[in-house]
Structure 1
Amino acid sequence: MDIKHSLKQRIVIVFALMSALVAGVFAVGIIATVHVVGNRLTMISMGGNLHRQLTSDRIEDWRHRPEKDELFYADDGLDEVAMSDDLKGLQPGFQTFERGKKSYYAMVEQVGERRYVLLRDQRKSAKRERILLGIVLVGFILSVLLAILLGRLLASRVMAPVSRLAGQVRHRDQVLERAPVLANDYAQDEVGALARSFDDTLGRLRAALGREKLFTSDVSHELRTPLMVLATSCELLMEYPRLDERSRTQVQRISKATAGMNQLVQTFLLLARTEGKNAPQGQQATLSQIAEELIETWRQPIEEKGLHFVYHGCEAGDDTLYNAPLLRSVMGNLLRNAWHYTDHGAISLTLNANGFQVEDSGIGIPLEKQEAMFQPFVRGDEQRGEGLGLGLSLVQRICANQRWTVTLTSREPAGCCFTVVLEAPGTLPV
């Protein structure tokens, strides 16, 4: 599992690890050096003491005693300095020697046929090494703690420009025309380069938003005229006295489709003009009114496909008013999506106190693809020729604009369930 840390934490961690590595290398070097130098000094000291022992007194009686932590032996000496059998196997020179549970340094010298041994207890040297090890360990821990403290202080100073830039970037006014240029506030360093890159990206984003806004306005203007012609023609045809019942039904369907297309254009325009703000309420309707209107539109296409359509109205009182064009677009796109991807079974629309559900028994959407379904130009089944993959993206945009929520879950054995939770207009933040 990846562990994610902030940049400041990573700087502190790297600073501490680097200090720990350097302090550890120095600690090991100090201990090794002291150990080697200590052994060398011990060897020189014992060699001098043994030499003085051999030259200071008459060699026959060996009455001169060595230092208090040293023991002197000779292979032909008196009883008190007589060499034991375990010492006779030692080779000439400096070495370590174990006698029982005690450890000794041993200096062995061969003079003619005689061998002399000087032993020194290692406990005093071991004690000094333990004290040194404790001092080095305490110094290592203190150096790491000091490195962490200095790392935090230095990281705060180093990260201050980055944190300030991040705060400015997160500010919502940065996407507006009045947002100031960021690069002027920073030095000619990496942070300044990042600020300049953001300024360039923001400039391109503003230009793209301007082109999109202009395109939306042009498209809406061009679409309104043919839609108005279609609506007017349908009205004139409906007044034609010789129109039979079948033709009249088809004209009514054309009229409803024209009205739906006009509402869709208005929805896109509304979303484009609000630019992330709450859309004006405009025409309002209750959830039941929108549902009944769409049932009248979609029941026939659904049943003509051989599907069973189920509608469950809201049992509680339904008097909350919502933005009618946006709610109609959300519910209509979900019903259209269910109709398009369902070949057998049923489609159901269920209202509740705070929203609605659209369920189907269609082909379903794999779990790994469900999150991407609300992105533009993503389709559930690429093999189906119809649709551009914009319906669910539009639903997501409208819900985000109105502070509604839409979720997608799978049904067993197949199919999808879209749940929309509506927030009352009076609770929308200003």
Structure 2
Amino acid sequence: MEFKQSLSQRIIIAFGLMSALVAGAFAGGIVLTVHLVEERLISTELGGDLQRLLAADTLEDWSHTPEPNQLFYFSGGEGEYRLPHDLKHLSTGFHEVFRGPLSYHAMVKFVDGRRYVLLQDQSDFEDRERLLFAVVFVGFVLSLGVAALLGWLLARRVMAPVIRLSRQVRHRDQLLGLAPPLGPDYAGDEVGQLAVAFDAALGRLRHALTRERLFTSDVSHELRTPLMVLAGSCELLLEYPMLDEASRSQVLHIRHVSEEMRELVQTFLMLARAQSNEGVSTKTSLVRVADDVAALWRVPVERKGLQLVYERIDVDDTHYSSTFLHAVMGNLLRNALHHTEQGMIRLQVRTHSFVVEDVGASVAESQRDLLLSQASALPMERMGLGLSLVQRICADQGWRITLTPLAPTGCRFQVDLEPLH
């Protein structure tokens, strides 16, 4: 499993590792240097003491007494000066000897075939050595703590412009036409170059969004006039007395399709207006939008011989984008009306969600996932432009839309809304 740290954490870790390496090298060097120097000094001092003992008394019956913390032995000595078996193997020079729980520094010399050994208790030396190790260890730990603190402070200072830039880029106002450029707020370093690159990318994105918005608005305006002419022509044809039943049915179908297209054009026009108004539309409650949409669609639903059931269950006064909520709810009702020939259509409003049910043609399970992930891939006889628009709006607003088939036929669309703060 790969662990991914943030850039700030990497800076702190780098400072910690660098401090551990440097402080560890210094600590090891200090300990080794002190140990070698102290050993050299003790060896010199102990060698001098042994030399003075040998010069003080060279008789066979030894009578000179060593220092209180020293033990003196030699080959052929009697009593307390007898050379123990554990020291007979020592060669000439300085040694460290352990005898039970105690440890000694030993200096060995050969003079006229006789081995002389001088031992000195090194308890004081070990105490100083342990104190030295404790001081070095505490210094090592403190250096790691100081390095971590310095790394954290440096990471905050280094990452502050990067974090600020990321917040500015993520802010939705950066897609507005009047958004100020980011580059002038930063120095000419790597972060400044990144800000300039973001300015270029956001500029191209704003330009593309502006073109799309203008195209949507212009097309919507241009399509309204021929649709109105088409609707008026249908009304005139329906008043023609010599029109036979088959022709009347075709004219009614043309009028119905033109009305649906006019509603879609109106939806696109509303979206274009909402986006041109700096991306902010009027906020209103879910119940108010549902009341308006239900009143708008009740007439065409009943004209088709269907029943529109409108239910409100535990609804609060949370506000949402009026334009997008009208578009989603209206297109779901239009889809239900288009695919339902008899029975009823239900619009049910709850807290932070609403449901649209119909008893029309069902959607296969393989097509349900396409509706939620790739709406344009659904067959046009069930998907249409309206549901594709619904899917795009929900994705943009952070709303979640789910589709459930009903038995024996029909669909249940549920839209879960996130309240706007």
Q: d(CA) in 2 for partners of 1:297 and 1:327?
A: 25
User: What displacement does 1:211 show?
Assistant: 1.7
- Closer/same/farther in 2, CA of residues 70 and 142 from structure 1, 3 Å limit: same
Consecutive unaligned residues in structure 1, runs of 5 or more:
301-309
Q: Which amino acid is 1:408 matched to?
A: T
Give yes or no for contact 1:347–1:358 (8 Å, CA) kept in 2.
no
More deviation, 290-299/203-212: 290-299
8 Å contact from structure 2 (residues 264, 386) kept in 1: no
Q: Could you tell me how far apart the structure 2 residues matched to 1:167 and 1:134 are?
A: 47
Corresponding residue for 1:240? 240
The answer for the alignment partner of 1:373 in structure 2 is: 372
**Which residue of 1 is the match for residue 348 of structure 2?**
351
Q: 2-side partners of 1:265 and 1:323: how far apart?
A: 19
Residue 328 of structure 2 corresponds to 330
Q: Is it true that 1:107 corresponds to 2:113 in the alignment?
A: no
Q: 1:339 to 1:49 in 2, by over 3 A?
A: farther
Q: 2:397 aligned with 1:394, yes or no?
A: no
Q: CA shift at 1:348, angstroms?
A: 7.5
Q: Which residue of 2 aligns with 1:307?
A: none
Shift of 1:245: 4.4
The aligned amino acid for 1:150 is L
Mapping 1:16-415, distance limit 5 Å: 16-245=16-245, 247-275=247-275, 276-278=279-281, 285-289=291-295, 292=298, 313-314=310-311, 329-331=327-329, 333-334=331-332, 349=346, 351-354=348-351, 355-358=353-356, 362-364=363-365, 373=372, 378-379=374-375, 382=377, 384=379, 394-396=389-391, 398=393, 405-408=399-402
SS of alignment partner, residue 314 of structure 1: strand
AA partner of residue 281 (structure 2): N
Greater mean alpha carbon deviation, residues 78-87 or residues 216-225: 216-225
How high is the sequence identity, in percent, across the aligned residues? 51
Q: Does the Cα contact within 8 Å between 2:73 and 2:116 map onto a contact in 1?
A: yes
Q: 1:412–1:250: structure 2 CA closer, same or farther, 3 Å change rule?
A: closer
- Code of the residue aligned with 1:175 in structure 2: it is L
Show CA shifts across 1:37-96 (max 9, x none). Answer: 433433333333323322232242333333333211112113121112222233443333
Post-superposition CA distance 1:209-229 (Å, at most 9, x none): 232233223322442343233
Shift of 1:297: 8.9
Aligned residue number for residue 304 of structure 1: none
Tell me by how many angstroms 1:137 deviates. 1.5
CA 1:152–1:353 in 2, change beyond 3 Å: closer, same or farther? closer
Aligned-partner SS, 2:174: helix
- Deviation of 1:192 (Å): 1.4
> Which blocks of at least 5 consecutive residues in structure 2 are unaligned?
none
After superposition, the Cα gap between the structure-2 partners of 1:126 and 1:213, relative to the gap in structure 1 and judged at 3 Å, is: same
Q: CA deviation at 1:399?
A: 5.1
User: By how many angstroms is 1:385 displaced?
Assistant: 7.3
* 1:202-246 deviations in Å (ceiling 9; x for gaps): 221222123223322332244234323332232122222244445
Report the CA distance between 1:127 and its aligned residue.
1.3
User: Cα gap change, 1:97/1:349 in structure 2, threshold over 3 Å: closer, same or farther?
Assistant: farther
2-side partners of 1:296 and 1:122: how far apart?
Answer: 108
Match of 1:84, as an amino acid?
Answer: P
* Contact 1:373/1:392 (<8 A) preserved: no
| RMSD over aligned Cα atoms | 4.5
C-alpha deviation, 1:132, in angstroms: 0.9
C-alpha distance in 1 between matches for 2:218 and 2:238:
31
Of 23-32 and 187-196, the range deviating more from structure 2 = 23-32
Following TM superposition, by how much is the alpha carbon of 1:12 offset from its aligned partner in structure 2, in angstroms? 3.2
Instruction: Give a deviation string over 1:217-276, Cα, whole Å, max 9, x none.
Output: 332244234323332232122222244445434433322221111111121122122222
* Residue identity in the other structure for 2:128: R
Q: Contact 2:302 / 2:308 at 8 angstroms: preserved in 1? A: no
The CA deviation at 1:189 is 0.9
Once the two structures are overlaid, the 10-residue window that deviates more, 134-143 or 180-189, is 180-189
Match of 1:419 in 2: 414
AA in 1 matched with 2:400:
V
Shift of the 399–278 alpha-carbon distance from structure 1 to 2, 3 Å rule, reads farther
Using structure 2 for the length normalisation, give the TM-score: 0.77
CA gap of 1:177–1:331, structure 2 versus 1, over 3 A, is closer
Give distance in 1, aligned partners of 2:44 and 2:32: 18
Alpha carbons of 1:397 and 1:7: their partners in 2 closer, same or farther (altered >3 Å)? same
Structure 1 residues 142 and 229: CA distance shift in structure 2, 3 A: same
User: Residues 339 and 48 from structure 1, CA distance in 2 versus in 1: closer, same or farther, beyond 3 angstroms?
Assistant: farther
Does the CA contact (< 8 Å) of 1:23 and 1:143 recur in 2? Answer: yes
Change (3 A) 1:100 1:214: same
Distance verdict in 2 for CA 1:123–1:325, change over 3 Å: closer
Q: 1:87 to 1:337 in 2, by over 3 A?
A: farther
Q: Distance in 2 between matches of 1:42 and 1:113?
A: 25
Q: Is the 8 A contact 1:71 1:119 kept in 2?
A: yes
Q: Deviations over 1:263-291 (max 9, x none)?
A: 11121122122222115989984354356
1:305 alignment counterpart: none
Structure 1 CA distance, aligned partners of 2:304 and 2:103? 98
